Amino acid sequence: MSLGAKVATNLPYLRRYARALTGSQSTGDAFVRATLEAALADEDLRARIGRGRVDLYHVFNSVWSSAWVDDGDRSGTELVGAEAGHEAAAQERLSHITPLNRQALLLTTLEDFSIDEAAIIMDREPDDVEALVQEAIEEIDRESATNVLIIEDEPLISMQLEDLVRSLGHDVCGMAATRTQAREIVASQTPGLVLADIQLADGSSGLDAVDDILKITDVPVIFITAYPERLLTGDRPEPTYLITKPFQEATVRTAISQALFFGSSRPLR
């Protein structure tokens, strides 16, 4: 298998991780692009990114860590409109909070690396990574409570998400199985967070339901799908927060924390 084919297999997931880490599709994609450009310019890096997922993420981490520490001026990334406001808000929060704990949690939940693998990626000892994960969990527990709208057509999954959301201290303002039901709920209650499936019971789309909501209010959205690779193609704007079915509760917990931390997310379309 060629180097390009090896990297391409893992690239959609690296892009997902980069976006969740930075809170922005454009910023996350820029760091992934910088990683690939660095590998093209360095024979050793080029060989490493082809060895597997851990090595690819390790090279990305080196690029991201260096830029994050050394470049305090974010003006090099020119954004306009809603994305500019989202980026500014994210950078303001990140300027006050060290992102290492979120990084450790994302690697071990969203990306499903072991503690030892995450330690290699982050250039830290396993015990340090475990401590960072625990700090992240404690930070999540301190998040302000909000109202959550669940758009999901599978009753058991919907109930599982409801239990999880309530266990985190949030309220559920409604559960919708169709686009129409979602519109009816939002007409009477404004959610602070939306968990949305892609395929809904009556053949309607969770993407369209989210579009309806975003026309009314700017709310963070976490999409849920069994086929994330179909959405992470780079051909159009994509979700910052995307959970793969079947999901782990820790993954949902992480995504909720990230979405509430940044206060917004970009829709799929």
Per the DSSP assignment, residues forming a β-bridge with 147 are: 171
Q: Give yes or no for residue 265 having a pLDDT over 70.
A: no
Query: What is residue 264's predicted lDDT score, i.e. its pLDDT?
Result: 52
Report the C-alpha gap between 150 and 190 in whole angstroms: 12
> 52-68: per-residue pLDDT in tens?
999 999 999 999 888 75
Least confident window among 15-29, 111-125, 178-192: 15-29
In 3-state terms, the chain is what percent helix, strand and coil (to 5)?
Answer: 60, 10, 30
Per the DSSP assignment, residues forming a β-bridge with 197 are: 224
Cα dihedral value 26, 27, 30, 35, nearest 10: -140
> 172-195: per-residue pLDDT in tens?
999 999 999 999 999 999 999 999
Report the C-alpha gap between 58 and 48 in whole angstroms: 9
